[in-house]
Amino acid sequence: MRYSTFGKIGYNVSSLGFGAMNLHSVSLEQAGDALNYALDHGINYIDTAAAYKNSEVIIGETISHRRSEYFLATKTGKRDYASAKEEIERSLERMKTDYVDLLQIHYVNYVDEFKQAMEPDGAYRAALEAKAAGKVRHIGISGHRPDLLTRWIAKGQFDQVLFHLNLAQPFAGRELIPKMRELDMGMVAMKPLSGGFIQPVDTAIRYPYSKNVHVIISGMVSVEEVKMNLAAIEEEVGAAEAEQLDLLAAELGTHNCRRCNYCSCPVGIQIPDVMISSRVREKFGLLPKGDGFYQRNKEKILSCADYEPCKEQPLCQQLCPYQLPMQRIIQEAAGYYA
């Protein structure tokens, strides 16, 4: 396990962070075993959010007695002052702690949302107040638009950013990571498997590891998953492997989808999931979770080719800030069922 100084935050963080988002899907006992095993084996960064169902409660129930052993990061999805203040208090109560090390303004993808959070009556003020009261040690931000995040951090109001970085979404490497390094910020990469689509798993985790971000958040729900993630980063990435990973990321990232979710589809196709998995699917096939997604959505994906209102001009493509050819990629995905 690599440890590094978390930018200007200064904490010595483990390169693997425990993503607690899916803990609600297993028993309290299993969740507690996974969290405690992680702490016992060197993981000292726990990532959760007020929005992750009862994840904060599970953390409070199972590891709050070991509070001094980990850096605790949570998030508020509220945008206004009063709701954010209330949510921060609720997070502390649920996690049975007096303070969190990091509070992130959660999932900010639109300019208007960012403005709202940063206004005098916005969530950022609630975070600042909580910081002054010792309830929050640092303030960060998370989102799916690396280009916007690069702009938003320039004023120095945040200490950390949580962003996507994986073999199929290497986009943060272009501007965001260099900017964060320049500002000496905490860099936390999430979704190394892009939500369960990317394989091989060990190679997938090694890509963000090769980028020397401070922490890679991987969602885990069992001791076995913690062991698998730890094993994947047991050895450092050498120059030759890093070069191979960069080539693979360049290939798998050609869909260019940032998962900003600006697009929508009237027949209910989950466009970013299809876009992001498109190249991986062709090259390696999918993990069981990814295959399950394609089987569940077969009818919808196949219906794209016949959807009359999109024949002249695809409705989804008019909403994409990157002008991506989503219709073509969705229709190519139909080949998966052949």
Q: Identify which of residues 3 and 322 has a Cβ nearer to ligand SF4 in the complex.
A: 322
Among residues 25, 4, 23, which one has the least CA distance to residue 13?
4
Closest approach, Cβ 269 to ligand SF4, in A, equals 5
Judged by beta carbon, residue 77 or residue 325, the one nearer ligand SF4 is 325
Asked if residues 168 and 252 have their Cβ atoms less than 8 Å apart, the reply is: yes
The yes or no reply on residue 326 touching ligand SF4 (CB under 6 A) is yes
Q: For residue 45, give the nearest of 22, 11, 76, 75 by alpha carbon.
A: 11
Number of residues that bind ligand SF4 (CB under 6 A): 27
**Which one of residues 99, 107, 110, 307 is an interface residue with ligand SF4 (CB under 6 A)?**
307
Q: Which of 160, 310, 333, 336 binds ligand SF4 (CB under 6 A)?
A: 310
Identity of residue 230: L
Residue 263 engages ligand SF4 in binding (rule: CB under 6 A): yes
Judged by beta carbon, residue 46 or residue 265, the one nearer ligand SF4 is 265
Interacting positions 275-294 with ligand SF4 (CB under 6 A): 275
> Residues 255, 324: contact at Cβ < 8 Å?
yes
Give whichever of 95 and 320 is closer to ligand SF4, judged by the CB atom: 320
Q: What is the 3-state secondary structure (H, E, C) of 158-169?
A: CCEEEEECECCE
**Phi and psi at residue 70, in whole multiples of 5°?**
-145, 155
Q: Is 95 in the site for ligand SF4 (CB under 6 A)?
A: no
Q: What angle do CA 123, 125, 128 make, to 5 degrees?
A: 115
Query: What one-letter code names the amino acid at 284?
Result: F
Question: Can you state the angle between helices 201-210 and 239-252, rounded to 10 degrees?
Answer: 110
Q: Which position among 149, 257, 287, 333 is part of the footprint of ligand SF4 (CB under 6 A)? A: 257
Residue 238 CA: distances (Å) to CA of 75, 171, 221: 34, 22, 30
- Interface with ligand SF4, residue 267, by CB under 6 A: yes
- The single residue among 43, 272, 333, 336 that binds ligand SF4, judged by CB under 6 A, is 272
CB-based contacts of 325: which residues, under 8 Å, 6+ apart? 317
Among the listed residues 97, 142, 166, 327, the single contact to ligand SF4 using CB under 6 A: 327
| 108 is a site residue for ligand SF4 (CB under 6 A) | no
Determine the residue type at 308. Answer: E
| Alpha-carbon span 121 to 12, nearest angstrom | 34
DSSP-derived secondary structure letter, 266: T
**For ligand SF4, which residue of 122, 173, 208, 314 counts as binding (CB under 6 A)?**
314
Q: Which of 46, 287, 304, 333 binds ligand SF4 (CB under 6 A)?
A: 304
Provide the Cα torsion 94, 98, 102, 107; round to 10°. 30
- Contact flag: residue 193 with ligand SF4 (CB under 6 A): no
Q: Of 265, 280, 286, 333, which one interacts with ligand SF4 (CB under 6 A)?
A: 265
- Who contacts 64 (Cβ-Cβ below 8 Å, separation ≥6)? 95, 96, 97
* Stretch touching ligand SF4 by CB under 6 A, among 78-86, 119-127, 209-217, 322-330: 322-330
What is the enclosing helix (H) or strand (E) of 35? helix 28-40
Nearer to ligand SF4, 25 or 295 (CB): 295
The least distance separating ligand SF4 from the CB of residue 306, rounded to whole angstroms, comes to: 9
**Contacting residues toward ligand SF4, per CB under 6 A:** 257-263, 265-267, 269, 271-272, 275, 304, 307, 310, 314-316, 319-320, 322, 324, 326-327, 330
